[in-house]
A and B are shown apart, each in its own frame.
Chain A
Amino acid sequence: MSLKKINIENNKIRDLIPQVLTIIVLISVIIYFATNAQINMGNRGISFGFGFLNQEASFDITFSMIEYDGSHSYGRAFLVGLLNTLLVSVIGIFFATVVGVFVGISRLSNNYLIAKVAEWYVEIFRNIPLILQIFFWYFAALRALPLPENGISFNDISFLTIKGLYVPKFIWTNFNIFLLSVISAFISIYFINSYSTKQREQFGKQLPTTTISLITLILIPLITFLFLGVSLSFEYPVLKQLSSTVYTFDGGVSIIPELIALALALSMYTATFIAENVRAGILGVSKGQKEAAASIGLNKNQILKLVVMPQALRIIIPPTTNQYLNLTKNSSLAAAIAYPDIVLVFAGTALMQTGRAIEIISITMLTYLTLSILISMFMNWYNKKMAIKEK
């Protein structure tokens, strides 16, 4: 009895020792590096600190979602870069998912042509390095676009030129009321959905939920236009001459070609991986499930929506999380084509102007780490939600 107890305790201690030792070694290595860096920087007259974040940045940025010019601080420039990184990541993730799901399902199509086209797309875009694709979209595809004076016109309200895509600007009156109406529409849709679920579970009634939701989403905001004084007008881009052969567009919103090229390259590239995840997920659902669903009288759409997809999603989500993370991190290649993301603006220009390599690189690394962790947390939550719930 007592011998056994000692043995167990011995085992516990034996297991604990290497772990404690590892932690001690790790901490001392970190302390060693930190003090060493401090001493070396001291010797070379380099100070360490984050005070520079409040200094005036004095450089301009092409494209910013918040108000920014060179008189703002480096901290503000960091924020501009971060928001630009987020913007291109969100756009990229959205299109990569849409294209990826579409191509993934297409690869399983019975139509030979559709399946083959999808297969070729995946094989081509997956196997060319991303940086080359970015250069292709930016330097090859962009070069083919016309100068502003002969820009490709869409109904004379939008123009595609080598300097970017110019689209009309929305000018709202009473935008707050409109926003409230959209929010209330979504709240109503939530209640409609839970009501219809209740109806189905209690009485087996199938309500046309999708149609009702759509009508709500259109109707409520429409009322604000008709009765509550909300109105929307557009400011169209207009061609402006700067000198005898130099033109640009004035007014409207300009979407810079760097953003277009980067978003295109990121989503086309990542979509191939998502497509393969989707295909694997659907193929991973056993044939018996579909046959069983068909035998109880569900139609093709219902089988896909109610039986195959819920099971396939469990296979699709974890690897797709990786792809979202990859896309976000790959967006740092933006620097190659002058899209002002966090790497170009902060770890590039700001680093150069201040010379604070250690501070800036650590902030940038921490930012990417935080972003990645947030994305994985969200996807893990979604994964849990989609997992089988035992009732």
Chain B
Amino acid sequence: MIKSIKNWILIGFASLLLVACGQGGGGAGSKKSKTLENTKKAGFVKCGVSQGLPGFSNADASGNWSGIDVDVCRAVAAAVLGDADKVKYTPLSAKERFTALTSGEIDVLARNTTWTLSRDADIGLTFVGVNFYDGQGFMVRKNSGINSVNDFKAGISACTNTGTTTELNMRDFFNSKNISYEPIAFEKADEVVQAYDAGRCDTYTTDKSGLAAQRTKMSNPDEHKVLPETISKEPLGPVVRQGDAVWEDIVRWSLNTMIEAEEYGINSSNASSLKESENPQIKRLVGSEGELGAAFGLDNEWSLRIIEQVGNYGESYKKHIADTGILPNRGPNQLWTKGGILYVPPAR
């Protein structure tokens, strides 16, 4: 409830942690990963997620997290600890997320975070890949007579979340159209939805997947529609701290394994039976050929566990995004072999 005070305490605490934790905290050895050692010692993966975004990371009534971002954490836990459930989730606001990661409060940030140059290069973070290709869009009331972003006129008020790339894209967009607008930025998505629903603003802008998910929370979802235009690229992906190359590789290849497994038709139910497959690429993915795990200091079954316990990317998408009605069509998040842009380097 007392959101901003909580934020302050969290940020203050995180800064303190950054200050107080031992000096050896982040330094990476040549082949040794401090984060991997600590994770094994603790017995769980410390993962930062959103405060509730259906399809990406959302907790049910009994506190079980699910979503495609959550599945990245689960994949890492399955690879490293052998059990996908050994994850400690920390819900974070947009504002807290990077501080929580750099200070060591979490080791993986899987929180619908856009990969940008300044975030990657400037503040001690490393993006390991993309698990959802998104883009920013606009939602308006159906009866407003606005059918495209070209119908926007000067004086329009737009609600969004603070501390996100959407705030910056919104400015770029309205500036390029030379339209003066009133930006209203809230800290929590729920408040944005309430204010937009009440009529405080004429349009609500955020990632299109977010719009689709939030529309379900409106008092009358059928009265609203998402405009066809996409005004930005929003590649969302998991993030790790800079300076631990081994841990970075583990998280990157956990995600890549899920995507490549779909490419080769390996899923949670047929994975173990494919151990005797003819295809050497499949055999490498299920751990019956090669020594891929050794490169990270893991055993050879790490990728098999990911596929068995979490499933491939397609299964994860279907379960959390398609079947929940958020975005039934996979769009760009389809494999490159099927017309999408999901393309990962080969695991070999």
Note all chain B residues with C-beta closer than 8 A to A139.
194-195, 198
> Do B11 and A361 touch (CB < 8 A)?
yes
CB-CB under 8 A from A258, the residues of chain B are: 184
Q: Is the CB of A338 within 8 A of B2?
A: no
- Give the docked Cα–Cα distance between A338 and B199 (Å): 15
Q: Are B163 and A348 within 8 A (Cβ)?
A: yes
Q: Is the CB of B102 within 8 A of A349?
A: no
User: Is A33 in contact with B95, judged by CB distance below 8 angstroms?
Assistant: no
CB distance from B89 to the nearest CB of A (A): 21
A184 within 8 A of B: no
The stretch that binds A, out of B66-74, B119-127, B287-295, is B119-127
**Cβ–Cβ < 8 Å partners of A162 in chain B:** 198-200
Q: Is the interface on chain A under 10, 10 to 19, 20 to 34, or 35 or more residues?
A: 35 or more
Stretch at the interface among A38-46, A92-100, A114-122, A168-176: A38-46
Residues of B within 8 Å of A8, CB to CB, are none
> Does the CB pair B18–A358 fall under 8 Å?
yes
Interface flag for B164 (CB, 8 Å)? yes
Q: Select A60's contact among B151, B183, B191, B194, beta carbons within 8 Å.
A: B183
> Are A248 and B156 in touch, CB under 8 angstroms?
yes
Of the listed residues B98, B146, B200, the one surrounded by the most CB atoms of chain A closer than 10 A to its CB is: B200
Contact pattern, B 179-205, Cβ under 8 Å of A = 1, otherwise 0: 001111111000100110011101000
B residues 191-238 touching A (CB-CB < 8 Å)? 191, 194-195, 198-200, 202
Question: Do B20 and A36 touch across chains, with their CB atoms under 8 A apart?
Answer: yes
Bound: A70/B185 CA distance, A: 14
Residue A10 CB within 8 A of the other chain:
no
Contacts of B200 in A (CB 8 A): 142, 162-163, 257
Rounded to whole angstroms, the CA-CA distance of A275 and B153 in the bound complex is: 48
Report A325-339 residues with CB < 8 Å from chain B CB.
332-338
Q: Roughly how many angstroms separate A237 CA and B187 CA in the complex, as a whole number?
A: 30
**A233–B191 CA distance with the chains assembled, in angstroms:** 39
> Which residue of A45, A348, A351, A361 contacts B243 across the interface (Cβ within 8 Å)?
A45
On chain B, the residues within 8 Å of A246 by CB distance are 144-146, 156, 202
**Cβ-defined contact, B143 with A349, below 8 A:** no
CA distance A351 to B99 in the complex (A): 10
B198→A62 contact, CB < 8 A: no
Determine the chain A residues whose CB is within 8 A of the CB of B5 once the complex forms: 333
Main secondary structure of the interface of A (DSSP, over half): helix
CA distance A344 to B25 in the complex (A): 31
Question: Is the beta-carbon distance between B184 and A349 smaller than 8 angstroms?
Answer: no
Contact of B187 with A44 in the complex, beta carbons under 8 Å = no
Q: In the bound complex, how far is the Cα of B187 from the Cα of A62, in angstroms?
A: 14
Q: Which of B8, B27, B164, B199 makes the CB contact (< 8 A) with A147?
A: B199
- B12 proximal to A (CB < 8 A): yes
In the complex, are the beta carbons of B124 and A361 less than 8 A apart?
A: no
A43 engages B156 (CB within 8 Å): no
For residue B15, CB closer than 8 A to chain A, the reply is yes
CB of A242 within 8 Å of the partner chain: yes
A47 to B, closest residue via Cβ:
B122
Chain B residues with CB under 8 Å of A332's CB are 4, 8
Interface size class of B (residues with CB under 8 A): 35 or more
User: Given A58-B168, A332-B4, does the pair A46, B124 have CB atoms closer than 8 Å?
Assistant: yes
Chain B's nearest CB lies how many Å from the CB of A279? Answer: 29
Whether A44 lies near B145 (C-beta < 8 A) is no
Contacts of B145 on A, CB cut-off 8 Å? 243-246
A243 near B183 (CB under 8 angstroms)? no
Kindly identify, within residues 226 to 271 of chain A, every residue whose CB is under 8 Å from any CB belonging to chain B.
240, 242-246, 248, 250, 257-258
* Chain A residue at minimum C-beta to C-beta distance from B147: A243
Q: Within the assembled complex, what's the spacing in Å between the Cα atoms of A335 and B93? A: 13
Q: Which of A61, A131, A348 contacts B183 (CB 8 A)?
A: A61
Contact A352-B162, Cβ < 8 Å, known A139-B194, A338-B184: yes
Cα distance, A321 to B107, chains bound together (Å): 45
| Best-surrounded residue of B3, B19, B98 (most CB of chain A within 10 A) | B19
The residue that A40 contacts in the complex, of B1, B21, B151, B199, with Cβ under 8 A, is B21
Residue A357, interface by CB 8 Å: yes
Question: CB distance A245 to B162 under 8 Å?
Answer: no
A44 in contact with B102 (CB, 8 Å): yes
Q: Which residues of A contact B144 (CB under 8 A)?
A: 243-246
Contact yes or no, A44 B26, CB < 8 A:
yes
Q: Which of A90-129 contact B (CB under 8 A)?
A: 129
Q: Which of A44, A333, A344 is the one whose CB lies under 8 Å from B162?
A: A344
Contact present for B186 and A142 (CB under 8 Å): no
CB distance from B154 to the nearest CB of A (A): 8
User: A13 CA to B121 CA in the complex, in Å?
Assistant: 55
Nearest B residue (CB) for A339: B184
Closest to A52 in B: B122
Offer 28 A-B interface pairs, CB within 8 angstroms, sorted by A.
A41-B18, A43-B25, A60-B170, A61-B183, A70-B175, A162-B198, A163-B199, A163-B200, A242-B153, A245-B141, A332-B4, A332-B8, A337-B186, A337-B191, A340-B185, A343-B4, A344-B185, A344-B187, A347-B8, A348-B95, A348-B162, A348-B163, A349-B163, A353-B118, A355-B119, A356-B123, A357-B18, A361-B11
Excluding A162-B199, A243-B145, A354-B123, 20 further A-B contacts by CB distance (< 8 Å) are A33-B20, A45-B242, A45-B243, A62-B185, A131-B2, A139-B195, A143-B198, A242-B155, A245-B141, A334-B4, A335-B3, A336-B3, A336-B191, A338-B184, A348-B95, A352-B94, A352-B162, A355-B102, A357-B18, A358-B18
